[in-house]
Amino acid sequence: MEDPDLFVLPGLESPFEKLAELVYFSLHHQADFARLHVSPPRGVLIYGPPGVGKTRLVKTVAQKFNINVYSIVGSEIQSPYFGQGEKVLVQKFNQAVDDAERNSCSLIFIDELDTIAPNRDYASNHETRLVSSLLVLLDGIKSRGNVIVVGASNRPNSIDSALRRPGRLEREISINVPTRSDRKAILTYYLSRFGCRTAPAPTTTTSSTIESGTSPLSPLFNNKKYTCLTKTKFFFAHFFRKDFVEWLAGRTVGFVGADLEALCREAYIHSLTHNPDLMRPLAASDFAEAFKLVPASAKKGYTIDVSDYSWDDIGGLYETKQ
């Protein structure tokens, strides 16, 4: 069944196109590659900070092309018994190969690849055996068929370099922290899930109004009232001024998609906690409390925002500018 919540988040359009291209080639151009006696790229490494949407991207592409995904996580591979991890790897690949023979294509997703296949120069004997088994499964004597292997990692430099050569995980897709415009679009989506809509001015046709609470951010809302459109079991649909979303986007530097979703969720939970009768929609004060609970995942070590100011905006310091 199609999940309506799986769609391409703002900022992930380019990674989505790159991954979808590989799946499209495997599904629709097998004969063309066979005629040229070459194999299409079937290995991808996706890397980026935690929470930017790596797993979501794989699920979205798989749903788009209606292919089955076989997930491999470290907890399944790490075993105290000799050879158990390698056995699980072989079983997953065999299942994916059988599926690809029946349905033209399948996908193996290895999350946290750096924990399963670390650099063998610093790995234990058990980890070294896992890396060797994975290398054989990727391009060994026995063909893995039309199976696409996607690995995801927050630390790509910790992955064994042999996995990143052509023929294995040859394509690499980097996902960065959302920009301000991306954060604005993501916030607009998650706010809409809680019934919040942006509008330049409130609509007064068949709606009722509720006085807003006293909050230092109240001026960011339309006039001093919330416009309530439809009452549901969980929330009121209401309007935020667009500059409030702009303010949130500027306030959330370093927030990734998962952080922004959690921020909106915590704001909604705070609203429910202080208004059990659900008679007041989300307020700016709810977000003020949510900021205390949801920190930015992407710290300065991951990203910095470059100012839009130029030298012309700074007075004096002529010698320094030269």
Per-residue pLDDT of 62-113, as tens digits, reads 888 889 999 988 777 777 777 788 888 888 998 998 888 888 889 999 998 9
Per-residue pLDDT of 158-182, as tens digits, reads 998 889 888 889 899 999 889 898 9
Helix (H, G, I), strand (E, B) or coil at 322: coil
Once rounded to an integer, what is the mean pLDDT over residues 192-199? 62
Once rounded to an integer, what is the mean pLDDT over residues 24-28? 83
Closest CA to 67 of 130, 109, 111, 31: 109
Which of the four pLDDT bands, split at 50, 70 and 90, describes residue 196? low
Arch. (CATH architecture) of 13-174: 3-Layer(aba) Sandwich (3.40)
pLDDT of residue 136: 87
Once rounded to an integer, what is the mean pLDDT over residues 198-225? 37
Which of the four pLDDT bands, split at 50, 70 and 90, describes residue 152? very high
**Identical fold, 13-174 and 180-293:** no
pLDDT of residue 279: 54
Which of the four pLDDT bands, split at 50, 70 and 90, describes residue 5? low
Helix (H, G, I), strand (E, B) or coil at 4: coil
Is the CB of residue 22 less than 8 Å from the CB of residue 58? Answer: no
Which of the four pLDDT bands, split at 50, 70 and 90, describes residue 195? low
The backbone torsions φ and ψ at residue 69, rounded to the nearest 5 degrees and listed phi first, read: -115, 130
Q: How far is CA 309 from CA 24, 73, 249, 253, 312, in A?
A: 43, 45, 18, 17, 8
pLDDT of residue 263: 92
Helices (H), the chain: 13-28, 30-35, 54-65, 74-77, 84-103, 113-116, 125-139, 180-193, 242-251, 257-274, 284-293, 318-321
Question: What are the extents of the domains in the chain?
Answer: 13-174, 180-293
Q: Which long-range contacts (CB under 8 A, 24 or more apart) does 226-232 make?
A: 226/280, 226/281, 226/283, 227/202, 227/203, 228/281, 229/197, 229/203, 230/195, 232/195
Say which residues have a Cβ less than 8 Å from residue 53's Cβ, sequence separation at least 6.
9, 12, 175, 256, 257, 258
Calculate the CA 219 to chain-centre distance. Answer: 33
Model confidence at 188: pLDDT above 60:
yes
Query: What's the rounded Cα separation, in Å, for the pair 189 and 66?
Result: 24
pLDDT of residue 255: 92
Tokens at residue 255, please?
């927030």
pLDDT of residue 150: 93
pLDDT of residue 241: 63
Helix (H, G, I), strand (E, B) or coil at 52: coil
Model confidence at 235: pLDDT above 80:
no
Tokens 């706010």, residue?
Answer: 191
Q: 119-157: b or e for each residue (b if 16 or more CB lie within 10 Å)?
A: bbeeeeebbbbbbebbbebbbeeeebbbbbbbbbbbebe
pLDDT of residue 228: 32
- 32 or 242, which is more confident: 32
Among 75-84, 191-200, 218-227, where is mean pLDDT lowest? 218-227
Model confidence at 189: pLDDT above 50:
yes
Once rounded to an integer, what is the mean pLDDT over residues 255-262? 91
pLDDT of residue 46: 94
Bridge partners of 150, per DSSP, are: 44, 109
pLDDT of residue 110: 92
Out of 5-14, 36-45, 286-295, 305-314, give the one with best mean pLDDT.
286-295
DSSP, res 159: B
Topology classification of domain 180-293 = Helicase, Ruva Protein; domain 3 (1.10.8)
